[in-house]
Amino acid sequence: MTIAVFGSINIDITAYSERLPRPGETLHGTRYLTGLGGKGANQAAASAKLGAPTHLIGRVGDDHFARSALHALESFAVDISYVHRDSSNGTGIAIINVDARGENFITVIAGANFAVDDSDVERARAGLAAASVLLLQLEVPQAPMMSAAGYAGQAGAKVVLDPAPVPPNARDMDLSLIDIITPNEVETEHLTGIRPHDIATAGEAARHLHARGPKSVILKLGEWGAFLSTGEEARMIEAFKVAAVDTVAAGDCFNGGLAYALSQGMDLGESARFACACGALSTTRYGAAAAAPGLAEVKDLLARG
């Protein structure tokens, strides 16, 4: 069963320096990395690396960064036939400065990602109709994202929304087409007004979200793990104990893993545990899409944990 991801594609350019530059200052850094980023690309790479046939639907420009992004996606076995090359906009980039303590500044130029519209949904109809799971995030405009949700949902896909980055309209965003919503702690607070810091507050936040549409709520709670609520059942899924070095894209690897597990027919509880293992493993490596684990190591961690 295939997975469709409707979302953003970026190239991340990360510069490392002892400290962050001050306004007007030029600083010599120690090293830099370039890599695939954007929540859509990261989640697609995560599910494809596990072995699920995965279509990414989105846009890049017609520039050097587009070639790098498409090449990286193909290297992770992501199907890019629905990635449109937009000659009027540049490929999305994120310029990231990181200091020795891991503190960072990030500037994102969304470029082609913000030009995604209903024509991208139309072009990808066959892929959306064939998908058993559709993964969404909020780095492309909400209107075409909702069209994709409506279309795939009607065709029978489970629609999963990662409400990140959290939008200004979080409190009254339409969630009626979403089957499973997966906010982290901060996003949960923006969406519901409740910061989940224990089982009671997590349950209360989940009830708010259920009332807006999603039948299932999974709160991603970092090293605490995840809180799963189906309306009838609510429980914590403990995090796997790992030596974390970089938590960038842990949430994206979680969602890619969740989609993989659901597409394999695992139930929601098993799928959430599988996703926790993917999120945990991604924190043991640097980078975004590149940090996503393969199936063998996830199975290994599940067996040990």
- Which residues sit at the interface with ligand ADP, rule CB under 6 A? 184, 220-223, 225-226, 239-240, 242, 244, 247, 250-251, 254, 276, 279-280, 283
- In this complex, which beta carbon is closest to ligand ADP, that of residue 130 or of residue 244? 244
CA distance 277 to 299: 9
- In this complex, which beta carbon is closest to ligand ADP, that of residue 114 or of residue 224? 224
User: Which of the residues are catalytic?
Assistant: 252
Least separation, in Å, of the C-beta of 226 and ligand ADP?
4
- In this complex, which beta carbon is closest to ligand ADP, that of residue 83 or of residue 253? 253
Give residue 92's identity as a one-letter amino acid code: G
Least separation, in Å, of the C-beta of 181 and ligand ADP?
12
- In this complex, which beta carbon is closest to ligand ADP, that of residue 140 or of residue 258? 258
Least separation, in Å, of the C-beta of 252 and ligand ADP?
7
- In this complex, which beta carbon is closest to ligand ADP, that of residue 25 or of residue 267? 267
